[in-house]
Amino acid sequence: MAEAQGLLRRVEAVIDQRLVGQAGLRTCLMAALMAGGHILIESVPGLAKTTAAQALASAISGTFHRIQCTPDLMPSDIIGTQIYNQTTGQFTTQLGPVHANVVLLDEVNRSSAKTQAAMLEAMQERQTSIGTKIYPLPSPFLVLATQNPIEEEGTYVLPEAQMDRFLLKEVITYPTPPEEDQILSRTLDGSLAAPIAGNPIALDDVARLQALTARVYVAEPLRKYVVAVMNATRGIGSVRPSELVDQVRVGASPRGAIALVRAAQALALMRGREYVTPDEIKDMRYPVLRHRLLRTYDAVAAGVTPESLIDAVFAAVPTP
């Protein structure tokens, strides 16, 4: 526990030098890093998504690549391609920008379905295939994909079934007035652009942190609690919230149950505990489930939010 807390403090100290406020995003960044998952971020422009990704890469002494998605972006632009060398008469492999420890996939909904599929395959398999060879991705490997909810022109909606591959989805809102004032102050005095100070952790430390997270104890009653929650989202089992009958088409998959447990383990370790309590499961319910409940068209038209449906599920399922 002392080792984990020491590593976490070092990561947070580096992130603090670049990121102001955004407590939810900070928690999701740390949880995804510790659980070995990926994050889907939804927000309007200018809320420090790129800054957060760069800060996380600096905090773990890792490489960082940013991919700006456009409709003409091809899979080879992401994973890499083979280039013919006329001098030698041979093909050489040029790896794409996905080969980095932290990858920011900016405005993922602007890329075509083929390109989205290539990226999601890399996220799932942790490798890319170029020609006849397979190239493993670096470890750790973390993708932060962003979506802009205010522009629909020239976008390709990310399939809801493929969103399930993201461990977490975080919705970022505007900073509070004191936080925005702090952003301005730190911009004017140059501290936001100053070189990163402190003591970042190494990539081997990230692997150690992930191993420690996996050892956080999850009691059997809590496992059954998570299973009951998942079944409630599907409208089966002993608990069936009435709100979900006409408002949810498809509930969370077993991948959602795994994600909720993994995220809860990470949060428990961040809080200095070696076991998970119901509080960790409840506190991670929105990032884990908001992109896994597929609402009906009537629910979307009526403005029913995924968060309200998640609250209905947790209110109906008894807490152990």
Tokens of 243: 């709100």
Burial of 116: CB neighbours in 10 Å, binned 0-12, 13-18, 19+: buried
- Gap between the Cα atoms of 34 and 27, Å rounded: 11
Chain centroid to CA 59: 17
Average pLDDT, the chain: 86
Structure-token match 């408002």, residue found: 247
Angle CA(113)–CA(259)–CA(309) in degrees, nearest 5?
A: 80
Q: How confident is the model at residue 129 (pLDDT cuts 50, 70, 90)?
A: confident
| 247 closest CA partner among 170, 303, 193, 206 | 303
Q: How confident is the model at residue 211 (pLDDT cuts 50, 70, 90)?
A: very high
Query: DSSP characters for 23-54?
Result: HHHHHHHHHHHHHT--EEEE--TTSSHHHHHH
Neighbours of 258 (CB within 10 A): 16
pLDDT the model gives residue 222:
94
CB contact burial 50-79 (16+ within 10 A = b; e otherwise): eebbbbbbbbbbbebbebebeeebebebbb
Coil, strand or helix: which one is 65? strand
- For the chain, what percent of residues have pLDDT higher than 90? 29
Do the Cβ atoms of 233 and 313 come closer than 8 Å? yes
Q: How confident is the model at residue 280 (pLDDT cuts 50, 70, 90)?
A: very high
- Ranking 35-39, 288-292, 297-301 by mean pLDDT, the lowest is 297-301
Burial of 273: CB neighbours in 10 Å, binned 0-12, 13-18, 19+: middle
Q: How confident is the model at residue 80 (pLDDT cuts 50, 70, 90)?
A: confident
- Gap between the Cα atoms of 113 and 26, Å rounded: 30
What domains are defined for the chain?
A: 2-171 (3.40.50.300), 216-316 (1.10.8.80)
Output the CA–CA distances (angstroms, integers) from residue 226 to 27, 241, 272, 281, 285, in the order listed: 20, 16, 22, 8, 10
Do the Cβ atoms of 248 and 296 come closer than 8 Å? yes
Decide if pLDDT at 144 tops 70. Answer: yes
Task: Give the model confidence (pLDDT) of 8-62 as tens digits.
Answer: 999 888 888 888 888 888 899 999 999 999 999 988 777 778 888 888 898 998 8
- Gap between the Cα atoms of 178 and 186, Å rounded: 12
Q: How confident is the model at residue 83 (pLDDT cuts 50, 70, 90)?
A: confident
Neighbours of 15 (CB within 10 A): 21
pLDDT the model gives residue 220:
94
Across the beta sheet with 142-147, the strand order is 64-68, 102-106, 142-147, 39-42, 168-171
pLDDT the model gives residue 258:
94
- Ranking 42-56, 81-95, 259-273 by mean pLDDT, the lowest is 81-95
Strands 248-250 and 294-295: antiparallel
pLDDT the model gives residue 150:
63
* Average pLDDT for 62-74: 88
pLDDT the model gives residue 218:
94
